[in-house]
Amino acid sequence: MTAPETPNARRLRLPFRGDRAYAFNWIGRIGLCIILFWLVIAVIGQWIAPYPVGKIVGWDYFAPVSREFWMGTDYLGRDIFSRVLMGARYTVGIALAAVALAVAAGVILGMMAAVAGGWFDLLLSRFVDAFNGIPSLLFGLVVVAAVGSSIPVLVLTLAAIYMPGAYRFARALAVNVNAMDFVTVARARGEHTSYLIACEILPNILGPVLADLGLRFVYIVLVLSGLSFLGLGVQPPNADWGALVRENIEGLSLGAPAVIFPSIAIASLTISVNMFIDNLPTKIRDRSD
Amino acid sequence: MTGTPLVSVRDLRIGATTDAGRKVEIIRGVGFDIAPGEILALIGESGSGKTTIALSLMGHARTGCAIEGGTIRVGENDVAAMSETQRAGLRGTQVSYVPQSAAAAFNPSKRIIDQVIEVTAIHRLMPRGEAEARARELFRALALPEPDTIGHRYPHQVSGGQLQRLSAAMALIGDPELVIFDEPTTALDVTTQIEVLLAFRSVMEKSRMAGVYVSHDLAVVAQIADRILVLKNGEVQEEGTTEQILNAPRHPYTKELIAAFEPVPHVPAESEEQADETPILDVDGLCAGYGPLTDGVPVSSVLKDVSFKLERGRNLGVIGESGSGKSTLARSIAGILPAYRGAVRLDGQEMAPALHARSETQLRRAQIVFQLADTALNPAHSIGTIIGRPLRFYHGMRGSRREARVIELLDMVRLPAALRHRLPSELSGGQKQRVNLARALAAEPELILCDEITSALDTVVAAAILDLLKELQGELRLSYMFISHDLSTVEAICDDVLVMYKGELVEALPAARMSSEAKHPYSRLLISSVPQLDTGWLAGLEQDPELVAQFAQR
């Protein structure tokens, strides 16, 4: 069973286990490329940055784009290009890890609550609601004050802040799917909760859940920069992109590239994440068999 | 039929444009006339365009559709050529509409009377007092109880059959020349349907209005229509008087429709088995209900002490109106809704009430098939995955062995093997129900609980599913418990019939002699309420009014 060639040349086909192929459109591919680009930068940024991150290299603050400083200099005269390259590690790493953790935990717990129902659902939902009531920055402040600031702590804190929303969202979707007859059929077959969650419910809520993930990612990048501003996030002289925008915000009135380039970096990452999520590869089902 | 007809439609074409920009023809050159005072029935399966034609008489085309050609003349007006404002003036006063679901057509937050007389206010036909008096007159003509005060109730305070008659009052108050009935009794129980049909007929006869009656049910149409238009795929198949269509159909499709209506009496499987064999299903004193338990009894108890036996290789029908507990019975036998009292024995082996306490073998031997194949198949899985799962789960099949078995099962339900790569949304209603059945067969069950599996299907498709069930029974020695509100379906497949009323078993009857042997008044009422393919049936129907008052939930 090989997939016959269709005249549709705009579709990329990734061969998969003989009878399966995937269609992946251009917008999704562009999104994926940008994400991969930033991931690579996050890993190798350290070696390709032209200047050390914390070193004041120019005498002029908010310097324009030049051959020496590709993205100008910041309010202290540090090279923005190097700082953006190094910031990728924090923004991409922390935000992606946190959003993945938050959504995974929220969705799994939400589906469990929907399928199990009863006391489990009631207790978990009220607990998560109560947790949701704590202001996020305050929570971050307390955690960092208690255990100190490190990257794992930041990731876990951000994940904890965004988990309740993902839980609520997934539970609401899963409750609807759970009431469908096909879930009842699977139950009557004797399937376990894990199968119901993974195979019957998850595929039917995946679209909205991924769209939610894209939005949540944007929020996490913003909260991360907020935490950095309070001195709880990434510690100077390192900085994530959000922090770069904040510390150079005065340069906006001067038209300094120092504030524009980190903003472009944030925009390109968040938009590409959403582009990729909205245009995931879809399986081509071979109908001419 | 003298003089000019009230309505004449010529070469009507209605089309739609799909998401992909492809043009689809829904109605292809339909033409007909309606004389003043005549009732024309539009009959056909779902997707045949009957509702689309009916709506076009008001100049309305559903979202995405457009009237693309032809003329529609109602009285003096060419509806197709009118502007939207002119059409709005026409609707309610010259042409009016009775929808399928009256419950959805009424605003739940307003009193009925205000909604019924709204038409007169919109068109400034008469002062409010006069309109209310006219509404009460119509309530009386439609045989509604307490005609003087019923209008002051809210829609949820009247029954479904009453609401349907009230929506007819809403349509009639503007004194239109043409009334469109869009499947007005399809959602009602048989006993309620009679009352509504009788009311419609007497009002239409008195007022001499013309009508268009859209339905898929030939027997209902036979009671009310003067002429019948048989439609398929947006084309007229046959047109004729009701008598002629029913008694001397000419077109093969009409013949097929009528054949599908008349049940082929079920021939019981040869009873070679010994009488002392343990019954495949033995239900003893089953009680089940919904809501939180108090002292082991749920707040709302649905099933009350139901006991019966089903012998191996035989079929048991369960009939009753909506709310009689038929589906609850199937669910508690399957363990989806655990019974709080009583026992279910499968092949002599007692099964625990709750699902999780039953063994895999017990679950495998009794499978349940649901009414709506749309919701019973996971939209995210391919057909192959859906049928393959029980094979993997119960029989541990994998890879090519499983694939081969899936193809075999698809062939068993008469579907091509290529269908296994498709998603449920790419299948027709009948195909989905076959897949639903194939999934149950994959478990290799001995008992299949069929919960209204043909109720959502068109007559011809449903008849094919019933034939399939019979064939499979011969091959696989299955037993069915067949739940339906449609007596002719039950008659076509079952050996014995149980009649349920308000969660209780009223009577057990042999299916073939249902009408002659029924003794309990409720079973007799139910059986006598099923419309017959005979134009004189409703007029000649005699039902004991006391019986009706006692059992029919109007």
- Domain residue ranges of chain B, discontinuous segments joined by +: 7-261, 281-378+443-532
- Shortest distance between the Cα of B339 and any Cα of chain A, in A, equals 15
Give the SS3 label for residue A50.
Answer: coil
Longest dimension (CA), chain B: 77
Provide the pLDDT confidence category of residue B271 given band limits of 50, 70 and 90: low
Q: Compute φ and ψ for B70, nearest 5 degrees.
A: 95, 175
CB contact under 8 A, B335 and A289: no
Q: Tokens for A217?
A: 């990612």
Of A184, A191, A285, the CB nearest to B336: A184
- pLDDT exceeds 60 at position B61: yes
- pLDDT exceeds 70 at position A107: yes
Q: What is the pLDDT of residues B487-529, one digit of tens each?
A: 888 888 888 899 998 888 888 888 888 878 888 888 888 888 8
Q: Which of A64, A4, A96, A56 is nearest to A251 (CA)?
A: A64
CA distance B342 to B349: 14
Mean pLDDT of chain A: 82
Spell out the residues 6+ positions from residue B113 whose beta carbon is closer than 8 angstroms to its own: B132, B135, B151, B152
Of B372, B422, B423, the CB nearest to A181: B372
pLDDT at A164: 92
CB contact under 8 A, A185 and B368: yes
pLDDT at A16: 46
Say how many CB pairs under 8 Å bridge A and B. 60
Residues of A in contact with B399 (CB under 8 A): none
- pLDDT exceeds 90 at position B275: no
DSSP string over A206-227: HHHHHHHHHHHHHHHHHHHHHH
Q: Report the residue of chain A nearest B417, measured CA to CA.
A: A289
pLDDT at B439: 93
Provide the pLDDT confidence category of residue B212 given band limits of 50, 70 and 90: very high
CA distance A64 to A72: 5
Residues of A in contact with B380 (CB under 8 A): 203-204, 206
CB contact under 8 A, A285 and B360: no
pLDDT at B264: 67
CB contact under 8 A, A203 and B380: yes
What average pLDDT does the segment A78-104 reach? 88
Q: Tell me which H or E stretch contains B500.
A: strand B496-501
CB contact under 8 A, A190 and B358: yes
Q: Report the residue of chain A nearest B424, measured CA to CA.
A: A182
Query: CATH says B7-261 is which class?
Result: alpha beta
- Shortest distance between the Cα of A279 and any Cα of chain B, in A, equals 17
Q: When comparing pLDDT for B17 and B107, which is higher? A: B107
**B406 and chain A: CB distance < 8 Å anywhere?**
no
pLDDT at B58: 87
- pLDDT exceeds 60 at position B49: yes
CA distance A91 to A240: 5
Q: Tokens for B427?
A: 């299948």
Mutate to test the interface with A, among B344, B369, B378, B406 (most CBs of A within 10 A): B378
Most confident option among B202-206, B236-240, B299-303: B236-240
Q: What is the pLDDT of residues A116-145, one digit of tens each?
A: 888 999 999 999 989 888 887 788 888 888
Q: Tokens for A205?
A: 């809520």
- pLDDT exceeds 70 at position B552: no
Q: Compute φ and ψ for B174, nearest 5 degrees.
A: -80, 5
pLDDT at A12: 47
Q: Report the residue of chain A nearest B442, measured CA to CA.
A: A189
Q: When comparing pLDDT for B273 and B466, which is higher? A: B466
Query: What's the order of all strands across the beta sheet hosting B227-232?
Result: B95-98, B178-182, B210-215, B39-43, B227-232, B235-241
pLDDT at A214: 83
Interface predicted TM-score (ipTM) over 0.90 = no
- What residue spans of B106-232 are helical by DSSP H? 112-116, 118-122, 128-141, 160-172, 190-207, 218-224
DSSP string over B296-332: TEEEEEEEEEEEEEE-TT-EEEEE--TTSSHHHHHHH
Mean pLDDT of chain B: 85
Please name each of the domains of chain A with its CATH number. 21-282 (1.10.3720.10)
Of A186, A204, A287, the CB nearest to B379: A204
Give the SS3 label for residue B58.
Answer: coil
Give counts: helices (H), strands (E), chain A. Answer: 11, 3
- Residue B450 to residues B358, B371, B377, B453, B483: CA-CA distances in angstroms? 20, 8, 15, 6, 6
CB contact under 8 A, A182 and B389: no
What average pLDDT does the segment A165-186 reach? 92
Decide if B7-261 and B281-378+443-532 have a common fold.
Answer: yes
Q: How many CB atoms lie within 10 A of CB A66?
A: 13
Residues B68, B14 contacting (CB under 8 angstroms)? yes
Q: What is the pLDDT of residues A214-250, one digit of tens each?
A: 888 878 887 887 777 777 777 777 888 888 888 888 8
DSSP annotation of B145 reads S
- Residue B4 to residues B10, B33, B94: CA-CA distances in angstroms? 14, 9, 17
pLDDT at A21: 60
Provide the pLDDT confidence category of residue B181 given band limits of 50, 70 and 90: very high
Q: Tokens for A143?
A: 């955690």
Residues of B in contact with A284 (CB under 8 A): none
Indicate if the alpha-carbon torsion angle B390, B395, B398, B400 is positive or negative.
negative
Q: What is the pLDDT of residues B382-405, one digit of tens each?
A: 899 999 999 999 998 888 899 999
Residues of A in contact with B376 (CB under 8 A): 180-182, 185
Q: Tell me which H or E stretch contains B407.
A: helix B399-412
CA distance B469 to B448: 10
Residues of A in contact with B334 (CB under 8 A): 188
pLDDT at A202: 92
**B480 and chain A: CB distance < 8 Å anywhere?**
no
What average pLDDT does the segment B323-349 reach? 88
DSSP annotation of A285 reads P
Q: When comparing pLDDT for A66 and A39, which is higher? A: A39
Out of A184-188, A190-194, B96-100, B269-273, which region has the weakest mean confidence (pLDDT)?
Answer: B269-273
DSSP string over B211-222: EEEEES-HHHHH
CATH architecture of the domain with residue range B281-378+443-532: 3-Layer(aba) Sandwich (3.40)
Out of A79-83, B8-12, B126-130, B275-279, which region has the weakest mean confidence (pLDDT)?
Answer: B275-279
Q: Tokens for B7?
A: 């309505």
What average pLDDT does the segment A77-98 reach? 86
Q: Report the residue of chain B nearest A205, measured CA to CA.
A: B380
Of B335, B390, B421, the CB nearest to A285: B421
Q: Tokens for B231?
A: 């439609």
- Residue B161 to residues A80, B39, B214: CA-CA distances in angstroms? 75, 21, 18
pLDDT at B207: 83
Q: Rounded to two decimals, what is the model's pTM?
A: 0.76
Interface residues of chain A, partner chain B, Cβ below 8 Å: 180-182, 184-191, 199-200, 203-204, 206, 285-289
Q: Which of B495, B526, B530, B535 is nearest to B513 (CA)?
A: B495
